[in-house]
Structure 1
Amino acid sequence: MDHSNHTPLDRTEFNTALLENAPVYGADDHKIGTISHVHGAGAVTDVVLDVGGFLGIGSKPVLVSVDQLNLMRDEDGNIHGVTSWTKEQLQELPEHQH
């Protein structure tokens, strides 16, 4: 996926309404997870990524700072994130307890 035409989100847009269910892609452009929910808003925001599994079944929730993600909007207005983390690295993080 070519992200060069995608518009980075402003920190004021870091909220549940926009980010929930957004896919997150790793450095190799393969989907590595989905944002399941958001903690905080604006400058102090963490997201819970559901990593692994299939259609949300068997996935592991992990907490990641939005500073670890490049959140953007594509040409169709869809929100997604890109990170340098691999799925394996994210799966090694502690499981987030809701």
Structure 2
Amino acid sequence: MIKLAECPACQGRGVVQGVFYELDCEACNASGWIDRWLNQPLPLQELAVQLGMNLRAALKRIEQLKSTRSTGPEAYYQEGNRLGAGGTNYTGD
């Protein structure tokens, strides 16, 4: 997995401001991402593979964060007990 960084020329947008309109950023091949260590743009085929791997890692991390359950007093505040007005969560505060 290649570490990616936002392009410093376009700040990750993929376009730079021209005189009258926005132009594709040549520093990153209009992708907004460059190789963090070499500071060079990746070929588009390699970039697609790297972005896919980064996406899968991010989705896995999101699932890990969602699956963690609260314990102790915090758990009482996180779960809905439907005792409040209109069936909302009532915490007794």
More RCO (CA 8 Å, sep 6+):
1
Question: Rg bigger for which structure?
Answer: 2
Query: Into which bin does the TM-score normalised by the smaller protein fall?
Result: under 0.3
Whose strand fraction is larger, Structure 1's or Structure 2's? 1
Output the TM-score relative to the length of structure 1. 0.22
Whose helix fraction is larger, Structure 1's or Structure 2's? 2
